[in-house]
Chains A and B, each alone.
Chain A
Amino acid sequence: MRSLSIELPGLSLKNPIMPASGCFGFGKEYSQLFDLNILGSIMVKATTPEPRFGNPTPRVAETPGGMLNAIGLQNPGLEKVVTEELPWLEKFNLPIIANVAGSTEEDYVRVAERISKAPNVHALELNISCPNVKTGGIAFGTDPEMAKDLTKKVKAVSDVPVYVKLSPNVTDIVKIAKAVEAGGADGLTMINTLVGMRIDLHSAQPILSNRTGGLSGAAIKPVALRMIYEVSQQVDIPIIGMGGIQSAEDVIEFFYAGASAVAVGTQNFVDPFVCPTIIQELPALLEKLGYDHISDCIGRSWKKNEQPAYHRA
């Protein structure tokens, strides 16, 4: 599997495949189905300073090729994550990416400072893009100045590299990406969910009790690809891509767009074995496409002058 290893700030990944935040909890449930050691990493559920219950149910609604969720950042809180959830993951040989969330700047700083000291946390994912909370979250992710400031403050307290998770709910994602890069971000993760709605035919009311929710799954793949394509050409920091990935072919497409690693979210619910399957299938797909190493695929859609590896041989 040497063809799959990737080095990113803070992260020595044996392969570039990891479950996306919020779609894999803290790993316990999926560990009943397969050995988590085969994963490149795990992006664990968002952590806020205090425990959060989240939004009333219904929190999910199906859409063509996707789903809406309005979980509302439910999580057991910083203390429990640091003393129970993360230590449980130590038995695996996995660099963990901790998803940091909050309502205020202080919240983010508090979580980042403490969680970045956990021995198995090798990077932070700053969640400034959750569309399902009333304060904070996405507000930081839609204003370039706020995003930059917050990145700086979190960088100042974090013991590990900081990746900033971008929201697609903006008119110019490149602007935000450049702002957080200027704020000192070590990498980007993108995209979070797109704000959407479904309305019940009988009640005439939105299906989600939060009314709106974040759209994820195959339906958002083209949006994610376009945004990664645009951003990767304008920044010098690596991107972990996500949004609708279901297969090894999708992974290559994200690398072509400019991602250096990828995360799989919603598809875990459809096929809990999606990550192991992709990891198993990637080497053969790379060989078929004529690449020695998956890194040869990064940004190939816009690096026009480079020939595929088999042309170089």
Chain B
Amino acid sequence: MKKELCQVVSNQSIADSIYELTLSGSMVEEMKPGQFVHVKVSSGLDPMLRRPISIASIHKEKSEFTIIYRKQGRGTSLLAEKKPGEFVDILGPLGNGFPVEEASVGSTAILVGGGIGVPPLYELAKQLVKKGIKVITILGFQNESAVFYESKFAEFSETYIATVDGSYGTKGFVTDVLSTKNIGGDILYSCGPTPMLRAIEASSYAPKVYLSLEERMGCGIGACFACVCHVKDDPDGHAYKKVCSDGPVFRAGEVAI
């Protein structure tokens, strides 16, 4: 973990309200798939807090990494204005990341992403494929204009798309694709909205399941107790996990979601 001024290499819109930002900095050396960075989008008070954004791809040879974000509120809108050559104050990499080592060579991994939960799965897919693991990707979006990275995933994995309104791919949710296409595998990794993660946790598409969670954050490093969740075995007790530093990735059944 370090705090670094990373230089903008490129920052462009890749789908409706979705931006892809590539930055260069030495913190790339430490990055793993599923980790996130805490981004200070403005040097002043508006807005004040950092924004957590997942690492979408890592290019160690160029000391570059890419994040993909949805332009939503004040913070991400300002981020969308960053021009190549400008510097962005980044704290990272943070969190634990997806356990690539849990997938064994020759096995099949299912990657399930929803909306802005798709980005961290991309670097994960790259690393799994490189290790000799078969990857099946199912991505869910609101509608056709929100779809991104389909062809990138399709380069090295069997890729399915679901849209809520049916304007592209299968109509419905990622879980509809999983069920109707009868998809199964040895390990499943997922990131996306909480209802989607709950649905995945409740079914049994693979014996091993890892989920990446989202929570509002303060520090992002484990000091402020803003992002805490209960553990599954003790849902009303005082045992806890911090999404920022114990997560954001948890084994299904580890925490109460």
Partner-B contacts on A (CB < 8 A): 22-25, 28-30, 32-33, 45, 50-54, 57-62, 64-67, 69, 71, 74, 77, 217-218, 266, 268-273
Contact = CB atoms under 8 A, between A and B. Distances in A.
A57 B216 contact: yes
Contact of B228 (A29, A64, A74): A74
Interface of B, secondary structure class, is loop
B189 to A, nearest CB: 23
Contacts of A268: 219, 223
Interface in B19-54: 40, 45-50
Contacts of A217: 48
Contact of A29 (B3, B45, B47, B245): B245
Contact of B221 (A29, A54, A74): A29
B49 A269 contact: yes
Given A53-B230, A57-B229, A269 B50 contact: yes
A108 to B, nearest CB: 19
Interface centre among A53, A66, A69 (most CB of B within 10 A): A53
5 closest residue pairs by CB, A with B: A25-B223, A51-B238, A29-B223, A60-B226, A74-B225
A29 B91 CA distance: 13
A67 B49 contact: yes
A9 B178 CA distance: 65
Interface residues of B, number: 31
B1 A33 contact: yes
B226 A272 contact: no
Given A32-B1, A33-B1, A69 B49 contact: no
Contact of A74 (B48, B240, B245): B240
Contact of A53 (B46, B50, B238): B238
Contacts of B221: 29-30, 32, 272
B216 A269 contact: no
A77 B238 CA distance: 10
Contact of A25 (B48, B215, B222): B222
B238 A269 contact: no
B78 interface: no
A273 B3 contact: yes
B227 interface: yes
Contacts of B47: 62
Of listed A30, A57, A273, residue having the most chain B CB within 10 A: A57
Interface string B47-84: 11110000000000000000000000000000000000
Nearest to B229: A57
B225 A59 contact: yes
Contact of B220 (A22, A66, A74, A269): A269
Contacts of B45: 64-65, 218
Q: Which of B46, B217, B218, B229 has the most CB of A within 10 A?
A: B218
Given A32-B1, A66-B48, A218-B48, A54 B216 contact: no
A123 B219 CA distance: 26
A61 B217 CA distance: 9
B224 interface: yes
A65 B226 contact: no
Contacts of B49: 62, 67, 269-270
Given A67-B49, A269-B50, A273-B3, A54 B220 contact: no
25 contacts: A23-B223, A24-B223, A28-B222, A30-B221, A50-B238, A51-B238, A53-B240, A57-B215, A57-B228, A58-B215, A58-B216, A59-B228, A60-B216, A60-B217, A62-B47, A62-B48, A62-B49, A64-B45, A64-B46, A65-B48, A69-B224, A71-B226, A74-B240, A271-B3, A273-B3
Contacts of B195: none
Contacts of A218: 45, 48
B207 interface: no
A209 to B, nearest CB: 10
A217 B49 CA distance: 10
Contacts of B217: 60
A57 B227 contact: yes
